[in-house]
Structure 1
Amino acid sequence: MGGHEGEAALVPWRALDADVIGRFADPAADWFASHAWFDLLSRVAVPPGQHAGCVVGAAAAVPVWCRGGVVMAGLSSPYALEFTPVLPAADAAARREGGAFGRVARARSRVRLDALDPDQPGLAAFLAGVAAAGLVVQRFSHFGEWFAPVATDRFDLWLASRPGALRSTVGRKLKRAREATRFALIGGGDALAGGIADFERVYAVSWKQPEPFAGFNPECMRALAAAGLLRLGVLSTAEGPIAAQYWAVSGGRAMLLKLAHDEAAAALSPGTVLTARMIEAILRDDRPSVLDFGRGDDPYKRLWVDRRRERVGALVINPRYPAGMALLARGAAGALRRRLLRGAV
């Protein structure tokens, strides 16, 4: 189903053949670049009025959201830590694939690609190829992702490297919590259904806003468990669960995807305790090289991990459409206004 040299085709997601599916990463090596991840989104995180597809070139595969036969955006979501299309690493090939994608994307005034890793091999050349197809590519800062390398499987040694405030809090809270709470770590099997139910119960009474796609978290946990990548933690008292969170462990990277706790149990610091217990278990059992606290600059993250990387986006704009021209004009006016404001300071 791959396109001919210099050509690409928009293919419905369910119509992808084995050759194209095989281009995606093994989930155990890179969960967010795997067919399993994109397939999950295509089933349970679909924007209203859209459906999943893939722009297939000779050597590239770019999952997308579509309406009819028109590309709307990259197949990403607020749940994604990154959007990783399949691209050739060599610049010349990536540029050709970008041109082929651009010719498909020209059917709309704007296509938005979110959550890109600016260091992905081939990405810069791919976007240059898109621009060479007669489109304007505007990059923007999308979100920060907090992480830290790990060089030990011992929780005590890892904790010793963290700020004093966290060391003190975790030491005090863990001692009390070990007497008053029960910790369960679930990877799949018979315990999965009960663990998911506990997660949903905690989430419902937490401070969290309702999910935009109510079934996403349970389905994501099931998909991760099927791939052997799920680490679901539940902290309970005799009255029931008070905190829950789930991680994915893939490619040496342990990623915290969702967490919640019951504010009524705040005296036990359930969120802090469960995060510490999860890191302890993951370091011991999985020995990751990176702990990743995911997207967003929440202040608590920098206590646990101390490095930040940027995910970027790209607006692919067709200036031949009035809406595209208007978008470019607004962007130019905004850039001028920012320059003038900087000059006035």
Structure 2
Amino acid sequence: MTAHFPLIEAAATPGARMLGSIDALARESAGMLDRPFQRGQYDRLDWLTLTAQHLWPDTPVAIAAARVGPHSLWLPLRDGGAGRARSLASWYTLAFGPIATPGCPEDVRATLLETIARQVGKRFGALALWPLEPEVCAEVQSAFRAQGWIVIARVETAHWVAHTAGLDFDAYWARRGSKLRNTVRRRAKSSPVETQIFDRFDADAWAAYETVYAGSWKPNEGSPAFVRAFAEQEGAAGTLRLGIARRDGQPVAAQFWTVENRVATIHKLAHLESERANSPGTLLSHAMFRQVLDHDRPDLIDYGNGDEGYKAEWMDERRVRHRLRMFNPYCLSGLAAGASIAAKALLRRVAR
């Protein structure tokens, strides 16, 4: 194993420290957070770099790092001041958690996570982590509780997926409800659209995406620069799937997907509010699902976080994402943050 990580020195006993920049993380990880080694999109250095640069440019990062033998684990945080920290994530992040070097055994990962919990407690008294998959939530709770932290967990949002291993589009479509299939059939006849799907970044197509988004029901984009930079990055990697639907030459719906490691992820979608009655987004989804299922053949389609009603029509399983609030009772900032949460909970009960 050590030969795979030439720049990561082996440590005989677990050790930890805080890294104060993405550059420091890049140096320490020695390429192990790059695309070839991290299957998870949100576990990669390039994702963390874009998040820090575009979403939290004025917020210090604090990356807890632990190592034993050839194995390392990192917990990327942003320093909120006053002894409080949050996950280095944003509303674009669909899953967050500790990031390990490839091949790290479960028992070693657990040891390193407890080491990180001790290290984090030397600097922060309150920690908020989101969005966590259930198994990640469980391992983080276990590690921090073992180090004396008080942990409050709650389900924060839904997360929808479709299981598509071995399915082409026709087989997938046959499993959808009659309401969705009838809507597509009717709209395709009464309000047809022309669709294009790009697997490389295209400036004109991206301009169409931004036009649709600006005229949609969606709130203002939090960081258009982040979304474009991510699309450019994935276009260069060959994982981008950017769909544009046009009526009479004008863009009316747009979707931004990525496909990688047999997982297709729907990151962004929008249609013009003025076109709502014509369902251009539904017609574009039909085209996107057909293209991805017949050509990319993913095992899973991920519709992201959120419990919007339309997702259930396209997906098979409703999962959840958790939020963790953790307090270190051995420091004033942890006690203060924990007392504030307890007081708010008490007031809510009284108000009922």
Q: TM-score band (shorter)?
A: 0.7 to 0.9
Alignment-derived partner of residue 217 in structure 1: 227
Amino acid corresponding to residue 76 of structure 2 in structure 1: P
- Name the residue aligned to 1:118: 134
Cα pair 1:234 1:245 within 8 Å, conserved = yes
Distance 2:100 2:289 in 1: 33
- Out of 39, 51, 62, the position equivalent to 2:49 is 39
Q: Is the 8 A contact 1:96 1:126 kept in 2?
A: no
| Aligned equivalents of 1:23, 1:61: Cα separation in 2 | 11
SS of 1:8's equivalent in the other structure is strand
Q: Is 1:15 aligned to 2:31, yes or no?
A: no
| Aligned-residue offset at 1:32 | 2.1
Distance between the aligned counterparts of 1:218 and 1:305, measured in 2? 27
Counterpart of 2:4 in structure 1 is none
Work out the CA distance in 1 between the residues paired with 2:340 and 2:30.
39
| 1:230, distance to aligned residue in structure 2 (A) | 0.7
SS at match of 1:242: strand
Q: Offset of 1:214 from its aligned partner?
A: 3.2
- Between 197-206 and 233-242, the greater mean CA deviation after superposition: 233-242
Q: How many residues of Structure 1 are paired with residues of Structure 2 in the alignment?
A: 335
Distance 2:208 2:73 in 1: 40
The CA deviation string for residues 210-267 of structure 1, in whole angstroms up to 9 with x for no partner, is 1222322211211211222110000012241110010111221111111111122234
Once the 2 structures are TM-superposed, how far is the Cα of residue 136 of structure 1 from its aligned partner? 1.9
Which residues of structure 2 form unaligned runs of 5+? 1-7
The answer for the alignment partner of 1:316 in structure 2 is: 326
Say whether the 8 Å CA contact 2:34–2:46 is kept in structure 1. Answer: no
Q: Is the 8 A contact 2:18 2:63 kept in 1?
A: yes
The 3 A distance-change label for structure 1 pair 230 and 53 is farther
Question: Greater shift after overlay, 321-330 or 78-87?
Answer: 321-330
Cα deviation for residue 67 of structure 1 reads 5.5
Secondary structure at 1:7's aligned position in 2? strand
Structure 2 vs 1, CA of residues 152 and 268 (structure 1 numbering), >3 Å: closer, same or farther?
farther
Q: Which amino acid aligns with 2:73?
A: A
Aligned-partner SS, 1:73 = strand
226-235 or 104-113, larger mean C-alpha shift: 104-113
Q: Which runs of 4+ in 1 moved over 4 A?
A: 1-4, 67-71, 330-341
Task: Give the 3 Å change call, closer, same or farther, for CA 256–17 of structure 1 in structure 2.
Answer: closer
Choose which of 168, 180, 186 in structure 1 pairs with 2:198: 186
Which of 202, 209, 214 aligns to 1:199? It is 209
Work out the CA distance in 2 between the residues paired with 1:15 and 1:228.
Answer: 28
Quick check: 1:103 aligned with 2:115?
Answer: no
CA contact (8 A) 2:82 2:333 kept: no
Q: Letter of the aligned partner of 1:119 in structure 2?
A: E
Q: Give the whole-Å Cα distance in 1 for the aligned partners of 2:48 and 2:290.
A: 30
The one-character-per-residue Cα deviations of 1:143-195 (angstroms, maximum 9, x if unpaired) are 11011101445323211101110111112223445xx4221111115xx1111
User: Is 1:2–1:20's contact at 8 Å kept on the other side of the alignment?
Assistant: no
Contact 1:3 1:9 in 2 (8 A): no
- TM-superposition CA deviations, 1:27-62 (whole Å, max 9, x none): 783212222222221221216x30334222102012
2:148 is the alignment partner of 1:134: yes
Unaligned runs of 5+ in 1: none
Cα pair 2:84 2:333 within 8 Å, conserved = no
Aligned positions of 1:61-80 closer than 5 A: 61-66=74-79, 72-80=85-93
- CA deviations on 1:81-139 (whole Å, 9 max, x unpaired) are 1013214754432332223222332222211111112224xx64454332333322222
Give the 3-state SS of the residue equivalent to 1:220 in structure 2: helix
CA–CA separation in structure 1 for the residues paired with 2:275 and 2:316: 28
The counterpart of 1:145, out of the listed 148, 156, 159, is 159
- Greater Cα shift, 124-133 or 311-320: 124-133
Q: CA deviation at 1:7?
A: 2.3
* Residue pair 2:198, 2:243 contacting (<8 A) in 1 also: yes
CA distance in 2, matches of 1:20, 1:163: 47
Q: Aligned partners of 1:318, 1:334: CA distance in 2, in Å?
A: 18
Give the equivalent residue in structure 1 for 2:254. Answer: 244
Q: Share of identical aligned residues, percent? A: 30
Q: C-alpha distance in 1, partners of 2:176/2:73?
A: 41
Q: TM-score, normalised by structure 2?
A: 0.85
Match of 1:262 in 2: 272
Secondary structure of the corresponding residue to residue 157 of structure 2: strand
Q: What TM-score results when the alignment is normalised by the length of structure 1?
A: 0.86
TM superposition shift of 1:199: 0.6
| Residue type of the alignment partner of 2:33 | F
How far off is 1:340 after superposition?
10
CA, structure 1 residues 232+52, in 2 after alignment: closer, same or farther (shift >3 Å)?
A: farther
CA contact (8 A) 2:26 2:45 kept: no
CA offset digits 1:291-313 (Å, max 9, x no partner): 11110000111011131111112
